[in-house]
């Protein structure tokens, strides 16, 4: 309640800023190639990163030279960082950010990834150096300085239908009415939602013209940690058992934990989103696993990129996630039509 006035002020500032862009007082810059933005209207995990990977793969398969432009949230570096040149991952998670490095490992040989707060300048640099023909803005809904041809917004369909309050009182980055800017809305974690139809109706009341898709999260591949870090293929012999102990640092870990539960793995420890692991953390995780009579660990790709250089005594499986769209052909057509 005490934060409500700050939330109101935050919303007014967001509205003023958006109005300045709408009226042309603030300029949106053409990036010199087709541009697709994938973003959120809320904070916290919405399943955006797997969707960014999915869109990038659609574009790559269509013959485009794809460049993902990201701010690289949580990285220790500043300025421009080339996370991947399309052939290899060039930096670690501390330098490039956990999600950009996760994307780089998943999309190796397919896309260039650049971390830079100035995505307009980064686009010009990528176009000159890599001949990029299409840009994907990671977390770009509020980054209106970059003009886009398609605006996709992810919303967690397990969230409250009221969508919460403005920051810092709630989790909205801008007033929910601004969802009307979106060309498409992807309702993520559809497999966990008990009221997906009501949720879609609420979105439709705000934006009657947006394409609405539903997305489920699934395991794409299982790798042991060493194979994941070295870029090797998935191991078809790996299994998740009730004796597998999970750990993760995600904005919303529910999809991951729910999928693990289907294999009988129900014991886990959670860290804050973008958590940077230390050797002491690994010791605590393994002690927790032993207390729960577990003999193996499992984590996500986003977490695994931050384990490089740390020593684990227990075997650790890395689960790579993917997004499955309810209308894959319609979604692909929308992406390519941009």
Do residues 210 and 236 share a domain? no
Taking the C-alpha atoms of 117, 275, 249 and 240 in order, what is their torsion angle to the nearest 10 degrees? 110
Asked whether the predicted pLDDT for residue 152 surpasses 80, the reply is: yes
Q: What are phi and psi of 116, to 5 degrees?
A: -165, 130
Do residues 143 and 91 share a domain? yes
Place of tokens 């384990």: 307
Do residues 184 and 230 share a domain? no
* CATH number of the domain residue 307 falls in: 3.40.50
Do residues 91 and 233 share a domain? no
Supply the DSSP symbol for 178. Answer: G
Residue 111: what pLDDT? 98
Asked whether the predicted pLDDT for residue 227 surpasses 90, the reply is: yes
Do residues 226 and 179 share a domain? no
CA distance 45 to 59: 24
CA distance 196 to 207: 16
Do residues 297 and 332 share a domain? no
Residue 31: what pLDDT? 98
Tell me how many domains the chain contains: 2
Residue pLDDT, tens place only, 51-99: 999 999 999 999 999 999 999 988 999 999 999 999 999 999 999 999 9
Do residues 28 and 95 share a domain? yes
Note whether 225 and 285 are within 8 A (CB).
no
Question: For residue 290, what are the domain limits?
Answer: 217-321
Work out the number of other CB atoms within 10 angstroms of the CB of residue 180.
11
* CATH number of the domain residue 13 falls in: 3.40.50.300
pTM of the predicted protein model? 0.94
Do residues 30 and 158 share a domain? yes
Do residues 192 and 298 share a domain? no
Overall average pLDDT of the 176-180 stretch: 92
More confident of the two residues 16 and 123: 123
């Amino acid at each position: 309640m005490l934060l409500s006035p700050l939330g109101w002020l935050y919303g007014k500032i967001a509205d003023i800023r958006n109005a300045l862009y709408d009226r042309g007082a603030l300029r949106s810059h053409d990036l010199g190639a087709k541009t697709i933005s994938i973003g959120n209207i809320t904070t916290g995990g919405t399943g955006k990163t797997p969707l960014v990977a999915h869109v990038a793969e659609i574009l790559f398969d269509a013959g485009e030279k794809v460049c993902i432009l990201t701010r690289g949230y949580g990285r220790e570096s500043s300025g421009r960082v080339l996370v991947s040149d399309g052939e290899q991952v060039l930096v670690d998670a501390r330098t490039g950010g956990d999600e950009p490095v996760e994307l780089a490992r998943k999309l190796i040989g397919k896309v260039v990834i650049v971390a830079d707060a100035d995505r307009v300048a980064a686009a010009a640099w990528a176009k000159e150096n890599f001949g990029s023909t299409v840009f994907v803005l990671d977390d770009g809904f509020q980054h209106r300085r970059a003009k886009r041809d398609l605006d996709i917004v992810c919303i967690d369909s397990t969230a409250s239908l009221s969508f919460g309050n403005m920051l810092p009182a709630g989790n909205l980055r801008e007033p929910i009415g601004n969802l009307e800017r979106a060309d498409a809305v992807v309702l993520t974690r559809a497999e966990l939602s008990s009221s997906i139809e009501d949720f879609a109706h609420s979105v439709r009341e705000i934006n009657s013209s947006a394409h609405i898709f539903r997305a489920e999260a699934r395991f794409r591949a299982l790798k042991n940690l060493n194979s994941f870090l070295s870029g090797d293929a998935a191991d078809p012999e790996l299994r998740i058992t009730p004796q597998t102990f999970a750990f993760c640092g995600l904005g919303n870990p529910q999809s991951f934990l729910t999928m693990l539960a289907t294999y009988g793995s129900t014991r886990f420890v959670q860290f804050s989103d973008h958590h940077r692991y230390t050797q002491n953390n690994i010791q605590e995780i393994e002690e927790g696993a032993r207390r729960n009579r577990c003999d193996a660990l499992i984590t996500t790709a986003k977490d695994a990129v931050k384990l490089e250089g740390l020593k684990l005594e227990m075997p650790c499986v890395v689960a790579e996630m993917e997004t499955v769209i309810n209308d894959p052909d319609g979604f692909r057509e929308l992406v390519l039509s941009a």
